[in-house]
Amino acid sequence: MTVIDQPQAPVAAPAGVSATRDEVLESAARAQAAAAELALLTRAVKDRALLAMADALLDRREEILAANALDVDAAIAAGTPDSLVDRLRLNTSRVEGMAAGLRELAGLPDPIGTVVRGSVLPNGLHLTQIRVPLGVVAIIYEARPNVTVDAAGIALKAGNAALLRGSASAYQSNKVLVGILSDAAVGAGLPANAVQLVPGTNRESVKYLMTARGLVDVIIPRGGAGLIQAVVNGSTVPVIETGVGNCHVYVDATADHSMALEILVNSKARRPSVCNAAETLLVHADAAAGFVPAAVAALREAGVTVHADAAVIDLVGDVPGVVPVTEGDLGTEFLSLDIAAVVVSDLDAAVKHIGRYGTGHTEAIVTSSVAAADEFVARVDAAAVMVNASTAFTDGGEFGFGAEIGISTQKLHARGPMGLAELTSTKYVVTGHGQIRASS
């Protein structure tokens, strides 16, 4: 089986934390029973639980930080890079941020029962399509303990039971967090087992979860490309694919260069480790002489290494921070202060490049031409297309959704930032007054 919870550097897992298939399936069965009760709860009950969960995080923060210290110490002892240790580490500010996120969720509208569409059919039947919970949502994710709280809160607000499978590197943190969240939720009126940590840290426990079809309704992987592809390829449970972002910024022939520079640097350097960060700069040949030297200088000033094609190198010369691009670079989600830079002959070449190397996440064009923008939007196949705006805006909060479970890069069942509505399905309610269907 492909390793699906392996972080980018070795991290010590707690010894002896294994789980049998029966243990994982029993956990899923408990979640299924809880989901049936959750589907009937009012917004008031769910919001009360979210607020209680937020309060509990703050009341028990020392317990959380003590558990997290065990994970952080193990990671440091294993030689984990500082950047990954930072993703794992919690502090008072981060715990407060998790609690604030739950309170924000409590203030959002409840999607359950929302009417998607409705009509009266010619035969007098009233047809209504309404939002309902998905049921049991399993989230498989790496490193960051804050995902435990975010995922549990979003799933519960949408009326779903949450099965959480974090990485072994955060096991102590996640165990304590889930215990705190579950205690608070039950105390506020939610059913027992509405939020659970999947038993075990061994790879087999993830395999058992991914094949629990009939007990688990959907799996959402959050993490690197290896994790996501392993879940997509190995799961018999429906999967919502998230996250991998080989995003491009295309600077068209008519682009305002000042605007393009700001968009480029923000897209790449604001937070290079997130999935909406730009990984490749494409420049129209007619704009290259005027734009490329300034772009490379701005990127270097921001600490970015530019992996440049021959045309870019010809324009900037042999300067520090510029290296020849490789074929592998063009398909890489760097998640670091690195970017590929390529001169393309025209918009058509840019679109074809994106079609070959992009991952369907976010693509941006900077242009003064309405026709070019329209063509780019129509032809580029991605969850989000930015016109004269940074790729960093692909985010549930920025879109006004208030919260997100991840960014879906597939076309079914959801695409783009996944807020509360995307964690629901629908059912049709048909109301009549005695109608029967005629024989054919």
Q: What residues does each domain of the chain span? A: 21-234, 247-393
Percent share of the chain, pLDDT over 90: 86
Q: Label residue 90 by pLDDT band (50, 70, 90).
A: very high
Question: Residue 86's pLDDT is what?
Answer: 87
Q: What pLDDT score does 155 carry?
A: 97
Task: Work out the angle at residue 192's Cα, subtended by the Cα atoms of residues 188 and 195, and round it to the nearest 5 degrees.
Answer: 90
The fold of the 21-234 domain, in CATH, is Aldehyde Dehydrogenase; Chain A, domain 1 (3.40.605)
Architecture category of domain 247-393 in CATH? 3-Layer(aba) Sandwich (3.40)
Spatial contact of 14 and 201, defined as CB atoms under 8 Å apart: yes
Look at residue 111 and tell me whether its pLDDT is greater than 80: yes
Q: How far apart are CA 176 and CA 182, in angstroms?
A: 10
pLDDT tens digits for 213-263? 999 999 999 888 888 889 999 999 999 988 789 999 999 999 999 999 999
pLDDT grade, residue 1 (50/70/90)? very low
Average pLDDT on 126-138 reads 98
Order of strands across the sheet that contains 278-284: 322-324, 305-308, 338-344, 278-284, 247-251, 362-366, 384-387
Q: Tell me which of 190-204, 302-316, 361-375, 391-405 is least confident.
A: 391-405
Q: What are phi and psi of 399, to 5 degrees?
A: -80, -5
**In angstroms, how far is the first alpha carbon of the chain from the final one?**
52
Q: Residue 278 pLDDT more than 70?
A: yes
Mean pLDDT of 134-141: 97
pLDDT of 403 reads: 75
The H or E element containing residue 132 is strand 126-133
Question: pLDDT per residue over 138-166, tens digit each?
Answer: 999 987 899 999 999 999 999 999 999 99
Say what the pLDDT of residue 364 is: 98
Q: Are 21-234 and 247-393 in the same CATH fold?
A: no
The span from the CA of 241 to the CA of 221, in Å, is 7
Confidence of residue 276 (pLDDT cuts 50, 70, 90): very high
Across the chain, mean pLDDT equals: 93
Residues 12-33 have pLDDT tens digits of 445 457 899 999 999 999 999 9
pLDDT over 90 at 412, yes or no: no
Rounded average pLDDT over 419-437: 96
| Per-residue pLDDT at 12 | 42
